[in-house]
Copies of this chain bind each other. A is one copy, B any other.
Amino acid sequence: MNKPSIPKGTRDFSPEEMARRNYIFNTIKDVFSLYGFQQIETPAMETLHTLMGKYGEEGDKLLFKVLNSGDYMSKVSDEELAGRNSLKLASKLCEKGLRYDLTVPFARYVVMHRDELQLPFRRYQIQPVWRADRPQKGRYREFYQCDADVVGSDSLLNEVELMQIEDTVFSRLGVRVVIKINNRKILAGIAEVIGLADKIVDITVAIDKLDKIGIDGVNAELRGCGIPEDAVEKLQPIISMSGTNESKLDVISNVLSKSEIGLKGVDEVRYILDKLKLCNLKNEIQLDLTLARGLNYYTGAIFEVKALDYPIGSISGGGRYDNLTGIFGMPGLSGVGISFGADRIYDVLNGLNLYPADALNSTRLLFINFGETETAYCMPYVQKCRQSGIATEIYPDSCKMKKQMNYANAKGIAYVALAGESEMADGVITVKDMKTGEQRKVSPEELLSVVSC
């Protein structure tokens, strides 16, 4: 028999990993709820109709496609078979695929449920997505996304609140961050004033890589896209601009004085920053004019969050998009959202050891099993502890003490309760603190207060 395995790029999550992941997800969910966001879920499988053409040509290739059930071959003609074209045949063999992100299914959801939804709709969604990417360190074929979006409101208050959510989540997790913001309209304005409005995408993509490839790399990439030398020159002060948010806004509004869209972007950033000043954020908000975010559908504010004390890419990000549901025939609906990178946040919390102890512990108290009589003596107390909300186990087998103590240690159980002949005679229970090793006899009533948190 072959040793069992799992598909490459996928993972099992052990109890310890799940406890850590649940701590992260629960922290995020609590904050989402506090801001009035409600959870939805969509199916793992979507029709290929919904998915194809939404993620570019490369994305189509990275979709996991699900083979049709039954006699799927009967729908394929001899000519099609003979062609042996894997890409073309896939659309004959399959009509469903696995969700590639949460945004397209959400857009599909909004369109399908438009009549039930009260706009603005504040939804969050935490579900796995699947991509047939080449697996590598930190990149998986199955991973969770964790998104919150507001659709149906143009108000910049939504942007303000999303920034507050970022600040609150990372404060609660104990991660010091910088929250970077920018605006696609500013980037569009810049392209306009250097006379290259049609090159906005190329410029955006190049500038976005500043962190990774440095200023020389960005310039090389700009030239590679056919941006003329004088335009590259004009971009330099913008790319390397430093100073306070206010001084940056002053400089850039001068640069963009002749671009309507650019000035609109400046106004939006100013509004958001002004409002956030009233909010006593715990983390710095930084206007970063080189922040571009790769995704093309953003049209207004864009955000990105970086951890200050741990070297890793952005751990959260998002932005405003003006036409979420247009792809499904429902134009004119604006949205703005953020997404938390659960796997990276997990790495940061592990790297900085930021998990509170009580988030990771499972069972608090283990009753040792000495046999039938002792078990019968213990069971009412086991039940009382559970009724008081204390996670409690009784070891199911009356095996060697050492094995039972090993179990308690391996599971990180805080207290062990023992009751043998002498305890039963005295009507008491011996309780051992597994950390200090200290042990003492207590009455059943005392037991509860000893093991309570």
Q: Does A328 contact B (CB under 8 A)?
A: yes
Q: Does A308 contact B (CB under 8 A)?
A: no
Which residues of B sit under 8 angstroms from A278, Cβ to Cβ?
376, 379-380
Select one of B6, B46, B49, B396 contacting A157, CB under 8 A. B396
Select one of B41, B65, B155, B383 contacting A66, CB under 8 A. B65
A 234-276 contacts with B by CB, 8 A: 275
Select one of B2, B41, B383, B410 contacting A18, CB under 8 A. B41
In the complex, the chain B residue whose C-beta lies closest to that of A76 is B84
The reply to whether B375 and A7 contact each other, CB–CB distance below 8 Å, is: no
Q: What 0/1 readout, one digit per residue, does chain A (1-22) give for beta carbons within 8 Å of chain B? A: 1111111001111110011001
Q: Does A197 contact B (CB under 8 A)?
A: no
Which residues of B sit under 8 angstroms from A380, Cβ to Cβ?
278
The reply to whether A375 and B157 contact each other, CB–CB distance below 8 Å, is: yes
The reply to whether B1 and A328 contact each other, CB–CB distance below 8 Å, is: yes
In the complex, the chain B residue whose C-beta lies closest to that of A120 is B396
Binds B, one of A67-75, A287-295, A340-348: A67-75
In the complex, the chain B residue whose C-beta lies closest to that of A140 is B43
Select one of B35, B379, B389, B406 contacting A118, CB under 8 A. B406
| A4-B112, A362-B38 known; A154+B397 contact, CB < 8 A | yes
A 381-404 contacts with B by CB, 8 A: 383, 386, 389-394, 396-397
Select one of B36, B49, B74, B142 contacting A362, CB under 8 A. B36
Q: What 0/1 readout, one digit per residue, does chain A (161-177) give for beta carbons within 8 Å of chain B? A: 10010001000000000
Q: Does A33 contact B (CB under 8 A)?
A: yes
| A44-B128, A142-B44 known; A66+B98 contact, CB < 8 A | yes
What is the bound-complex CA distance between A2 and B50, given in angstroms?
10
A 77-133 contacts with B by CB, 8 A: 81, 84-86, 89-90, 93-96, 98, 108-109, 111-113, 116, 118, 120, 122-123, 128, 130, 132
Q: Does A182 contact B (CB under 8 A)?
A: no
The reply to whether A12 and B67 contact each other, CB–CB distance below 8 Å, is: no
Q: Does A280 contact B (CB under 8 A)?
A: yes
Which residues of B sit under 8 angstroms from A13, Cβ to Cβ?
40-42
| A7-B47, A383-B279 known; A12+B392 contact, CB < 8 A | no
Extra inter-chain contacts (19) besides given A7-B95, A12-B112, A15-B40, CB under 8 Å: A1-B328, A3-B329, A4-B47, A4-B49, A12-B43, A14-B40, A34-B389, A34-B392, A35-B386, A36-B362, A44-B142, A67-B94, A73-B86, A81-B81, A93-B93, A155-B396, A157-B369, A157-B394, A279-B379
The 3 closest A-B CB pairs, nearest first, are A15-B38, A10-B43, A155-B396
Q: List 15 contacting pairs A-B, 8 Å CB cutoff, sorted by A.
A: A4-B108, A6-B43, A7-B45, A7-B47, A10-B43, A12-B41, A18-B39, A22-B39, A36-B391, A36-B392, A44-B128, A62-B69, A118-B410, A120-B396, A157-B375
